[in-house]
Amino acid sequence: MKSSKYILFIALLGICLSCSFTKDLKDGQYAVYESEIEGIEKSDKEVLYGLLEQEPNTRFLGTSPGVTIYRIGKNFYDSAKIVTNREEARAELSAIRLSLDTLPNNKKLRKRAEKLGSRIESLNKKIEFGNALMRTGNPLVILDSAETETTVNNLKGYLANQGFFESSVDFEVETKNKKAFVNYLINEKSPYILDSIYTRSDHPGIINLLNSTTKNSLLKKGDNYNQDNITGERNRIEELLKNNGYYMFSKSYINYIAYKDTAAKTIKLEQVIQKPTFSDIHEVYTIDSITFTINPPTNEFADRRIRQKYRDINFSFFQDRYSANVLASRIFFRNGQAYNRTSAIETQRQLSNLDLFRFVNISFDTVGTSLTANIFTQPNQKYQLTNQVGITITEQLPGPFFSTGLRNRNFFRAGEILEFNFRAGLEGVASATDQGVYQSSELSGGVTLIFPRFLIPFAPNSLQKFGRYNPNTRVRLSYNYTNRPEYTRNSVNGLLSYTWATSNNRILYTFNAADLSYIRTPKIQQEFLNILTTLQDNGNNLIWSFLPSFISSLSGQTIINFNKYGNFKSNKASLLRLFAESGGTTLNFLESKSNSEPGIEFANFQWLKAQVDFRRYYPVNKKQTFAYRFNLGWASPYGVSAGILPYEKYFFAGGGTSIRAWQARRLGPGSSSPTTGKGGEYDYTNEQPAEMILETMLEYRRNLFGYFDMALFIDAGNSWMIGYDAARPGADFRYDRFYKELAVGTGLGLRMDFEFLIIRLDLATKAIDPAKPLGERWVFDNVNFRRPFGVRGQTVLNFGIGYPF
């Protein structure tokens, strides 16, 4: 036994030595092992480290996995062969293009030309960045004196731009065992302060406009001199003037003169608005006419052009295929108005949002100080078929899916879009009656009609009034079939929904005026039915959720996106989602049979539901970020529901996007105890529906190398019932004990970020288990070297597509 351990140790040591960080370095070459910046007191440390031209490779146990992967890839890399293959492909492509000049309709040649074009693009990528393994890893960073000097200049330039005009930057390099330790030595000294800001211009109108917006200026007396603020102020002034009619104005007319007082360490900044080269003063331009032209897709329709004037806009269509009323509602400038760049950009964006046109171009012709606005478009394809094949996961194990959709644009010739959708998918899920993993299948299909306006009775002016908010009305009819290990469920759904957004898309609103479903569960596995029956005998009537039912609700949702959350390269982005729902509201005005009456065969439901979901993303630097989520939800049945919600309306805790140390939908509620399996440990066999959820997640994410990222996370939360549940003692929410029932899990994750696809593996272990008796809920000490995964069921591996939040 001992000898086998020694053999294993020697093998691991051999692998580490073979992957030595400084392997194959020539004489005089040194690997950059550490780069430090000393002397930072007032400057932005993160920005300064981002200016390093040579950043050390990420290391683990004395070696770099990224460098190892790169070296493996380089062993299979033959640059000369790749260049030869590219030249051969180029030669063949040139010959094919010559043939296509005489045979333009030869589909075989065209297809071959497309393949060769893709191959040449792939070979160019290999020549520039290496093969797939080389692109996944990264090359060893070798000390380069020229790069070190460039870094010094970068640091000097940044400090000067931040007002540290008298700062100095030096460096020193220490070498040891083929490793280089580079220290950059900064002496910031005192920054220069803005003593005053004065604007000089011969144009009183511009002076008055700037004075009226002084509070929005990025240049403030008493602030440190900052070149970035000067650049931002030039952009702000250009935007301000262009939005107030100064069509020909640009930031090139704004100059800054800085007068330094070296004794007082202050700067007097003069902001100069120069005269235009083509006129004596900057003029205000007014819109004189608007022309909207839709070009035909081919010359075949050129002689079928129809001209129409609506709201002083000159429309030119081919055939009578478009609604001038709808298009005019997306144009936000009018004749006689001063030019406003924001209105022009918003017009272009909202016309593009209609999804009717391939492109939208807006140009302005000048005659004196008058503008002629020209809007040019071309129709998008009438029919669009999209197919998608991929992998999906909502609970535990991934599975394949296929979806297809057919889109018919401008269906009623007023901008409507008709969509047909079909989706089929398989997944691996844990059965509610067994610890095994079973196949779950889902089929869905539907038809949706989207109107680019609010369909509101007796409100004829709503189109023009709300046009800038991208209003949409959706009418949808769909069918969904779900086959899980425990039951088979199908439903027919109808939806009338209104959506709109603020002009910058920061806030998105959705109002579901009617959400109707007829649900049936024709097949329930006998073992699962026994569980539902046992619950009913103990006072929990969850079985009613599986009766045939007609469910109606109205709901509203607001999504507030701060600083482009979802683009995880943006700075300090966050998202807030607010949701509220009232189910079975119409039953308040009808005489309906309660679910508690004997002999009930058709269930009715009434409920109120609300949810708050907040997410925040905070980058520390280019490689490290923190991400946080807080989710609070509440649902309460009332009236004829007799204390029961539709099954889809319950909250479930646990899983890859919830508390990851518990299986999907298996956590809670409260301190209720799951069934006990072999060895006396909980086996979490049953899904645990609840009426309230509280969960929070914190992640530290770091790029390792290439496509590989790692994450450390901690999750906390639980679900509860609002009232007492006799079948699950401890499931009810109580203010005096809920904080003692918060489950806590922690773990680490590996993510492969391919930009178009993110594959996620999260290994999570329970730290605090509220199902245990008080005093025994700390279970993290079950994880040790002898039991790295703790006791049975303590550690869960989650596989996911995309980030958990």
Q: For the beta carbon of residue 762, count every other beta carbon within 10 angstroms.
A: 24
For residues 133 and 69, what is the distance between their CA atoms, to the nearest angstrom?
Answer: 6
**In a domain? residue 334:** yes
Boundary of a domain, candidates 379, 413, 428: 379
Please check whether residue 595 is in contact with residue 642, taking contact to mean a CB–CB distance below 8 angstroms: yes
For residues 365 and 384, what is the distance between their CA atoms, to the nearest angstrom?
Answer: 35
Among residues 464, 461, 467, the alpha carbon closest in space to that of 501 is found at 467
For residues 548 and 560, what is the distance between their CA atoms, to the nearest angstrom?
Answer: 37
Please check whether residue 478 is in contact with residue 444, taking contact to mean a CB–CB distance below 8 angstroms: yes
pLDDT level of residue 677 (50, 70, 90 thresholds): low
**In a domain? residue 116:** yes
Judge if 263 and 304 occupy the same domain. Answer: no
Q: Does the pLDDT of residue 396 top 80, yes or no?
A: no
Least confident of 45-59, 235-249, 386-400, 771-785: 386-400
Q: Does the pLDDT of residue 401 top 90, yes or no?
A: no
CA 113 to chain centre: 36
For residues 271 and 255, what is the distance between their CA atoms, to the nearest angstrom?
Answer: 6
**In a domain? residue 232:** yes
Q: Does the pLDDT of residue 69 top 50, yes or no?
A: yes
Boundary of a domain, candidates 212, 240, 273: 273
Residue scoring higher pLDDT (170 or 571):
170
Judge if 372 and 290 occupy the same domain. Answer: yes
- Angstrom CA distances, 129 to 44, 136, 137, 144, stand at 32, 10, 11, 20
- Angstrom CA distances, 258 to 162, 217, 222, 238, 262, stand at 14, 17, 15, 20, 12
Residue scoring higher pLDDT (333 or 129):
333
pLDDT level of residue 493 (50, 70, 90 thresholds): very high
pLDDT of residue 255: 94
pLDDT level of residue 10 (50, 70, 90 thresholds): very low
φ and ψ at 369, to 5 degrees?
-110, 20
Judge if 293 and 246 occupy the same domain. Answer: no
For residues 795 and 368, what is the distance between their CA atoms, to the nearest angstrom?
Answer: 75
Judge if 298 and 223 occupy the same domain. Answer: no
Judge if 257 and 324 occupy the same domain. Answer: no
For residues 81 and 159, what is the distance between their CA atoms, to the nearest angstrom?
Answer: 46
Q: Does the pLDDT of residue 397 top 70, yes or no?
A: no
pLDDT of residue 320: 62
pLDDT level of residue 244 (50, 70, 90 thresholds): very high
Q: What does the pLDDT look like over 149-187, one tens digit per residue?
A: 999 999 999 999 999 999 999 999 999 888 899 999 999
- 14-19 LR contacts (CB < 8 Å, sep 24+): 16/61, 16/62, 16/63, 19/63, 19/67, 19/68
Q: At what angle do helices 79-102 and 107-129 cross, to 10 degrees?
A: 160
φ and ψ at 386, to 5 degrees?
-125, 135
- Extract the tokens encoding 616: 């925040």
Residue scoring higher pLDDT (602 or 738):
738
Strand 708-720 to strand 743-753: parallel, antiparallel, or no bridges (unpaired)?
Answer: antiparallel
Residue scoring higher pLDDT (798 or 421):
421
Strand 254-261 to strand 179-187: parallel, antiparallel, or no bridges (unpaired)?
Answer: unpaired
For the ranges 20-24, 324-328, 503-507, 783-787, the maximum mean pLDDT occurs at: 324-328
For residues 475 and 496, what is the distance between their CA atoms, to the nearest angstrom?
Answer: 5
Q: Does the pLDDT of residue 625 top 70, yes or no?
A: yes
Judge if 302 and 221 occupy the same domain. Answer: no
| Sequence-distant (≥ 6) Cβ neighbours of residue 557 within 8 angstroms | 509, 510, 511, 577, 578, 579, 580
CA 395 to chain centre: 20
For residues 469 and 502, what is the distance between their CA atoms, to the nearest angstrom?
Answer: 5
Characterise 417 by phi-psi region: left (phi > 0), alpha (psi -120 to 50), beta (else): beta
Q: Does the pLDDT of residue 302 top 60, yes or no?
A: no
For residues 375 and 361, what is the distance between their CA atoms, to the nearest angstrom?
Answer: 6
Q: Which amino acid is at 477?
A: L
Judge if 304 and 373 occupy the same domain. Answer: yes
**CA torsion, points 138, 763, 800, 672, in degrees to nearest 10?**
-160
- DSSP assignment, residue 410? S
Structural domain that includes position 125: 78-129
Judge if 310 and 333 occupy the same domain. Answer: yes
Mind giving me the DSSP string for 647-699?
A: GGGSB-B-STTS-TTS-TT-B-STT----B-GGG-B---S---BSEEEEEEEE
**In a domain? residue 428:** no
Mind giving me the DSSP string for 552-565?
A: EEEEEEEEEEES-T
For residues 119 and 93, what is the distance between their CA atoms, to the nearest angstrom?
Answer: 10
- Angstrom CA distances, 532 to 546, 649, 733, stand at 10, 17, 22
State the first-to-last Cα distance of the chain, in angstroms, to the nearest integer. 46
**In a domain? residue 125:** yes
For residues 337 and 717, what is the distance between their CA atoms, to the nearest angstrom?
Answer: 56
Q: For the beta carbon of residue 241, count every other beta carbon within 10 angstroms.
A: 26
pLDDT of residue 428: 65
pLDDT of residue 6: 41
pLDDT of residue 257: 93
For residues 765 and 773, what is the distance between their CA atoms, to the nearest angstrom?
Answer: 19
Q: What does the pLDDT look like over 516-554, one tens digit per residue?
A: 999 988 888 888 888 888 777 776 777 777 888 888 999
Work out how many domains the chain is built from and give that number. Answer: 3
Boundary of a domain, candidates 379, 410, 434: 379
For residues 586 and 149, what is the distance between their CA atoms, to the nearest angstrom?
Answer: 74
For the ranges 118-132, 352-366, 591-605, 771-785, the maximum mean pLDDT occurs at: 352-366
For residues 637 and 618, what is the distance between their CA atoms, to the nearest angstrom?
Answer: 38
Judge if 209 and 263 occupy the same domain. Answer: yes
φ and ψ at 202, to 5 degrees?
-90, 0
- Extract the tokens encoding 643: 């204390």
For residues 101 and 112, what is the distance between their CA atoms, to the nearest angstrom?
Answer: 15
pLDDT level of residue 580 (50, 70, 90 thresholds): very high
- Neighbour order of strands in the sheet with 31-38: 31-38, 179-187, 168-176
**In a domain? residue 485:** no
Judge if 207 and 267 occupy the same domain. Answer: yes
For residues 169 and 188, what is the distance between their CA atoms, to the nearest angstrom?
Answer: 8
Q: Does the pLDDT of residue 74 top 70, yes or no?
A: yes
In the chain, % of residues over pLDDT 70: 89
pTM over 0.85: no
Please check whether residue 184 is in contact with residue 152, taking contact to mean a CB–CB distance below 8 angstroms: yes
For residues 760 and 656, what is the distance between their CA atoms, to the nearest angstrom?
Answer: 10
- Angstrom CA distances, 785 to 711, 764, 779, stand at 21, 16, 15
| Structure-token match 């991208």, residue found | 470
- Angstrom CA distances, 178 to 61, 62, 145, 715, 804, stand at 17, 13, 15, 43, 41
Q: Please, where are the H alpha helices in 190-226? A: 204-212
Mind giving me the DSSP string for 280-330?
A: SSPPPPEEEEEEEEE--SSGGGGGGEEEEEETTEEEEEESS-S-HHHHHTT
Judge if 296 and 365 occupy the same domain. Answer: yes
Judge if 291 and 374 occupy the same domain. Answer: yes
Among residues 92, 131, 125, the alpha carbon closest in space to that of 109 is found at 92
Average pLDDT score over the chain: 85
- Extract the tokens encoding 287: 């819109």
Please check whether residue 545 is in contact with residue 558, taking contact to mean a CB–CB distance below 8 angstroms: no
- Extract the tokens encoding 42: 């007032």
**In a domain? residue 237:** yes
Kindly report the CATH number assigned to the domain that includes residue 245. Answer: 3.10.20.310
**In a domain? residue 511:** no
- Extract the tokens encoding 356: 């009717």
Q: What does the pLDDT look like over 304-354, one tens digit per residue?
A: 678 888 889 999 887 667 888 899 999 999 999 999 999 999 999 999 999
Among residues 427, 428, 410, the alpha carbon closest in space to that of 419 is found at 410
Q: Provide Rg for the chain, Cα atoms.
A: 33
Among residues 686, 612, 676, the alpha carbon closest in space to that of 654 is found at 686
Among residues 500, 324, 348, 309, the alpha carbon closest in space to that of 415 is found at 324
pLDDT level of residue 597 (50, 70, 90 thresholds): low
| Angle, CA 428 vertex, CA 427 and CA 431 arms, to 5° | 125
Strand 286-294 to strand 624-637: parallel, antiparallel, or no bridges (unpaired)?
Answer: unpaired
pLDDT of residue 3: 44
For residues 554 and 587, what is the distance between their CA atoms, to the nearest angstrom?
Answer: 13
For the ranges 294-298, 512-516, 700-704, the maximum mean pLDDT occurs at: 512-516
Among residues 665, 519, 541, the alpha carbon closest in space to that of 596 is found at 541
